[in-house]
Chain A
Amino acid sequence: MSTISERFFLLQSHLEKNCKSKISKITGYVSFTMRKFLFSVLSIGPIPAHVAFIMDGNRRFAKRHTLLQDSIDPASGHRLGFRSLISTIQYCYEMGMKCVTVYAFSIDNFKRSPQEVQLLMDLMREKIEEMSAEDGVLKSLDVKINFWGNLELLTEPTRLSAKRAMDTTMHNKGPVLSVCVAYTSTDEITHAIEASVRDLKGKDQVEVSDLERNLYSASYAEPDIIIRTSGETRLSNFLLWQSDFTHLQNPKQLWPEFSLRHLVLAVLDYQLVYAYLKKRKEEIEKNK
């Protein structure tokens, strides 16, 4: 059923792009209704409040589909990855999730060739602008966007786009999208330590709670699930501190292939372990 719904969704986007608005509205409505039914069935079990994604596999996808040949658009894999991102967050929010966090660009990725890094910086800026536009997803879903990371490392235009997007959506009341760029967990923790040490003043000791307060994610709940696509089983320096009780999943699909049915399976997987995780969490909280 989800495949049919997805096809309607893709058809709708395609038709919208080609200005066949009446038909696209109908297909959009059909697809939306089918999803609504699917999600209401899913909601019989617990729906995670916060899901994080490591969007791995864009370049491999492009290679596999020989889109990188002739270097027409070396960022093609990432562009497809971006489309996957937009539809995934839409499904997440429709399902009732409050937060989605994504690993968009690691500090380690600066080690790639200067051309690829510049390409990715430009692509990020382009996509931030696209999301922030009048008809973009941030406005239509009332999303509050955060950019977590050492933003000073970004190129100036990209950093400014990010800052603008954060300022414009600061008061949005809808779901939250946290994009990790120029981010590593160890960098985040080091900054938190620096800040905690600076704020020590009279106190003698740095406590776990001090560090927690100074993380980028301070006012948000920890992720319930971290999904890394393309079958890789590493966190690669993503949310190490926050992933204490997080259920780690590694579907073998590459990020551009990650679609509604994979998301539904991920949630079902989570629902199976939910009762056990909840029990363990309560035990520990009780004795803190």
Chain B
Amino acid sequence: MDGNGRWAKQRDLPRTAGHTEGESSLFDVVEGAIEIGVKAVSAYAFSTENWSRSPAEVKFLMGFNRDVIRRRRDEMHELGVRVRWAGRRPRLWGSVVKELQVAEELTRDNDVLTLTMCVNYGGRAELADAADRMVADARAGRLKRVDERTFAKYLYVPELPDADMVWRTSGEQRLSNYMLWQAAYSEMVFTDVLWPDVDRRDLWRAITTYAERDRRYGSA
């Protein structure tokens, strides 16, 4: 969900205004995804790298994430969305974690679409954390061998299938190690629109681009 800062700068507003505007973009996209039949959406809300932003912006983002989840929780539940959290605990505000856990519990049995909120998430961090959990299991005798498939069970949201498409807005052509394990074979779609200006039609356009591609997975 890239481009909040730039959107705000273009309008001479503080960066936080961009984030605020970006909330409606996300939930419009989620509804658009449901309409078109997508089963899983993961949103990169706060990265482990974002701690390097200004303390004021970080404070805002923590509070903002907490409020958005609290605000949108019931709406998601009504749409049949199952909310999941992908991220690590250290440094993350307790109040944000609490809201995420309440949302997860409330929407636990929904099955229309899984919305994974990546808050305090980093692709490399996820792999290191998974390795730690594996070590714990190995020491307790619960794990015999390490291979790719076993390893995937230790990711934050193991039941999530690998991503078919990674969509990055604002024209940036980088992966920024977002879901690096799960994006191994994903089609990457880069859109120039800034996130606050995005709506469900941009999602549909991105999916159309995705549908036109020929995925071979290394074989013929």
Contact = CB atoms under 8 A, between A and B. Distances in A.
Contacts of A277: 174
B213 A236 contact: no
Interface in B148-202: 148, 151, 173-177, 180-181, 183-190
A28 B148 CA distance: 49
B133 to A, nearest CB: 10
Interface string B192-220: 00000000000000000000010101111
B10 interface: no
A66 interface: no
B219 A246 contact: no
B135 interface: yes
Given A109-B218, A248-B174, A248-B175, A234 B187 contact: yes
Interface string A248-288: 11000000000000000000000001000100000110111
Contacts of B134: 193, 197
Contacts of B185: 234-237
Contacts of A108: 217-219
Contacts, number: 123
B167 to A, nearest CB: 11
A240 interface: yes
B56 interface: no
A236 B132 contact: no
Nearest to A282: B52
B176 A244 contact: yes
A16 B167 CA distance: 48
Interface string A169-189: 000000000000000111101
Given A236-B184, A283-B52, A248 B173 contact: yes
Given A206-B131, A284-B52, A112 B148 contact: no
A221 interface: no
Contacts of A193: 127, 131, 134, 146, 151
Contacts of A94: none
A237 B184 contact: yes
A235 B128 contact: no
12 contacts: A108-B218, A185-B184, A194-B146, A233-B187, A235-B186, A237-B184, A237-B185, A240-B184, A241-B124, A248-B175, A283-B52, A284-B52
Interface of A: 106-109, 111-113, 116, 184-187, 189-190, 193-194, 196-197, 200, 205-208, 210-212, 232-237, 240-241, 243-249, 273, 277, 283-284, 286-288
